[in-house]
Structure formats: C-alpha cells, structure tokens
Amino acid sequence: MIQDVEKYLQEVESFRTADAKELENFRIKFLGKKGIINDLFAQFKSVPKEDKPKYGQLLNKLKKTAEEKVKTLRAQLEAAEATAPSGEDLTRPGYPYPLGARHPINIVKNRIIDIFRRIGFNVSEGPEIEDDWHNFTALNLPEYHPARDMQDTFFIQRHPDWLLRTHTSSVQIRYMESHDLPIRTISPGRVYRNEDISARSHILFHQVEGLYIDTDVSFADLKQTLLYFTEEMFGKSKIRLRPSYFPFTEPSAEVDIYWGLKTEDDYRITKGTGWLEIMGAGMVDPNVLKNMNIDPEKYSGYAFGMGIERIAMLLFGIPDIRMFFENDVRFLEQFKSVL
C-alpha cells in the first residue's frame, strides 16, 4: 500500500498541463470526494500497524503536494490567459462614437448672449404662459388697443386672461417689477403667434429682447449699442435706423445693416438693395415706465428685439425656417464644427 502512495506521489509531482479542463480533471481525480486521496485515507485502518506512521506521512505529503500542484498550475493558467493576445489590434484608434451638435438656434442664441454680456447685460427669463398684464397692458397695450391686432395670439381656453406669450418683452416687465434700477438685461426665449406656417414664418420662434434703463440714457446710446452688436455678430459696421412704430417704444426704429451686393444670394436676400432688416428698437415709452412706477422725468431707457431664427438663416444660409423644427439629423449634423 505504501508503494501505491509513492506511485501516486510521483504522478502528482510530474504532472504538467496548460489546459484548464485537464487540470480540473486532475483535481477531481486526486482531491475530489471520490478521489484517490480520500480512498487512500479510507484504507488507513487496514494498513499494518508497523507501516501506519510511514503510510500516514506519505499520504499527508501526497495530499499537500496535490493541493499545491493544483494551486500553482491554476495561477499559471490565469496569468497566461490575462496576457494572451485578444486577437484585436490594440494600436488601432478607439471606436468612433458619433458626436452630437448644437442646434443652430442655440448656437446663435449663445453668441448673442456672449456679445451683450461683454457690455454688462445679464440674462433674464420668464414663463411662456403669460397673463394679459405682462404681455400687453403693462407694455402700453391696454384692452381693445388696435395695436394688439399686430400680434395674433394663442389664448388659453377657459382662461381668457392667460395666453402664450407673443414676445419676451413680458420678461422685461417682470424684471422691472422685481429689480432695482439701473437695469441692463436681455431676455432670450420661445414665443408664439398664430400665423400661417411657411418658409419665412412659424407659429413658434425665438427672440432675444434687450432693455437698458438708467438716468440720462439717450438714443445715441442705443445706436452705439446696436453698432457694436452688428460688428460683433455680422462683421458689418454700417447700419441705418428707419422710423417705425412699436407700442412700447417712442421713438421707434427698424434696424438695417448693409449686407452688400457681392453675390447672387446677396441680391436675393436684400431684394437688390444691399440693406437687410435685423431687428426693431427704440426708446422705452414713458407710459411703460409709469406702469412700473419708474419716474420718466428722472429715468429713460432703450429696448430692442430680434428673431434668432432670422439671424441664424442669414449666418448659415438656411432657406426655410421650418428646417429648425423638423429635427432632420442630416440638417443638424452640418453644425458639428460650429460653436
């Protein structure tokens, strides 16, 4: 029986493998519940008394050697597996995850905000569902005022005093109610008007409106601000102001920039004049200041407003305003490189 143990010990000591399945079979053969070593321990009682010490020592050595052999070979197999080539070329670049792009409306809005922040304007926002006071009455548009017809409005059913705001001037009213003078703010956001959808108009669009109120604010301050904006946004240094009418400013003006007539597109978008309208502006009407409990004898201010879609269409040569809202990936992917 001692010879059997010695034979198994030699087999264990000489065992080598690089195969995990073969190693597992070896472990089961010697160390499993029905393995050789357990059988040898079960035969211990039938070993002659004089041979038991040597038999026991050899059997313990066999068990220890088998356990160490399994442990060593398993570690070698795991190390080899960890360092084995995966079959992939690790020098190749990583998987090219597709990059998103900013929406052109956000690109232009962010540019406008950045331009005006550089001259001290902060950003203010307000609700898109407004009441009549903030959207009309406080802006010098009392009930039944004919100028209300200039803006076809979406009213909230069952709540005739509530509506979808038609301009972000309502944000300026809320800002004047809650902030001390002087005021220098711009208000970007979505606005809604009940208009026919076409290549040039939509029921949903975006505006940025600006407001500056302080002592001794003049029309010359407004003109200088507009000139600064057009130079920064378009690289154009020639503007003109045409008399116009807005209920909340007096005097009021339409602002044009000289776009030029260098290409056929220039002739098309300026209708052959070289001039292009970009926004409306004017001095804040004294009645608006009174509605906000601001003394028009002491304070004055100017306001301006522009459509973000209109400017984006000019900058990027977009022919149809509906493209901004269709979420066509082919259209949006063109702005990946634009910040």
Dump pLDDT digits (tens) for 147-186: 677 778 888 887 878 999 999 999 999 999 999 999 999 9
Sequence letter at residue 323: M
| Amino acid 114: pLDDT | 97
- Name the H helices within 235-336: 264-269, 286-291, 308-316, 329-332
Is residue 112 within 8 Å of 186, Cβ to Cβ?
A: yes
Q: Is 154 exposed, middle or buried (0-12, 13-18, 19+ CB in 10 A)?
A: middle
Q: In angstroms, how far is CA 87 from the centroid of its own chain?
A: 37
Residues 240-291 pLDDT 10s: 999 999 999 999 999 999 998 988 888 888 889 999 999 999 999 999 999 9
Strongest mean pLDDT among 178-182, 325-329, 334-338: 178-182
Q: Which tokens go with 120? A: 């001290």
Q: Report d(CA 136, CA 54) in Å as an integer.
A: 108
Task: Kindly give the residue spans of alpha helices, DSSP state H, lying in the chain.
Answer: 2-14, 20-31, 36-42, 52-83, 104-117, 132-135, 169-178, 219-234, 264-269, 286-291, 308-316, 329-332
The closest of 82, 81, 65, 78 to 26, measured between CA atoms, is 65
Does position 221 have pLDDT exceeding 70, yes or no?
yes
Task: Indicate whether 312 pLDDT > 90.
Answer: yes
Residue 114: other Cβ atoms inside 10 A: 11
When pLDDT is averaged across residues 283-303 and rounded to a whole number, the result is 96
Find out whether 125 and 191 touch, Cβ atoms under 8 Å: no
> What does the pLDDT read at residue 294?
96
- Please report the pLDDT score of residue 84 as a whole number: 64
Residues 102-152: pLDDT tens digits?
A: 899 999 999 999 999 999 999 999 999 999 999 999 999 887 777 677 778
Residue 282, beta-bridge partner list: 252, 303
Which pLDDT does position 311 carry in this prediction?
Answer: 94
Between CA 170 and CA 149 the distance in angstroms is: 17
pLDDT tens digits, 51-107? 778 877 887 888 888 889 888 888 888 887 777 666 777 777 777 777 788 899 999
pLDDT tens, residue by residue, 5-49: 788 888 888 888 888 889 888 888 888 888 888 887 887 778 787
Q: What pLDDT score does 339 carry? A: 67
Q: Is 144 left (phi over 0), alpha (psi -120 to 50) or beta?
A: left
Break the chain into its structural domains and give their ranges.
2-83, 105-335
Give the pLDDT confidence score for residue 86 in this predicted structure. 65
CA–CA distance, 197 with 314 (Å, rounded to integer): 19
To 5 degrees, how large is the angle CA 226–CA 130–CA 312? Answer: 35
pTM score of the predicted model: 0.70
Torsion of CA 324, 303, 223, 182, to 10 degrees: -130
The pLDDT of residue 191 is above 70:
yes
Largest CA distance in the chain: 125
- CATH of range 105-335; options 3.30.420.40, 3.40.50.2300, 3.30.930.10, 3.30.2350.10: 3.30.930.10
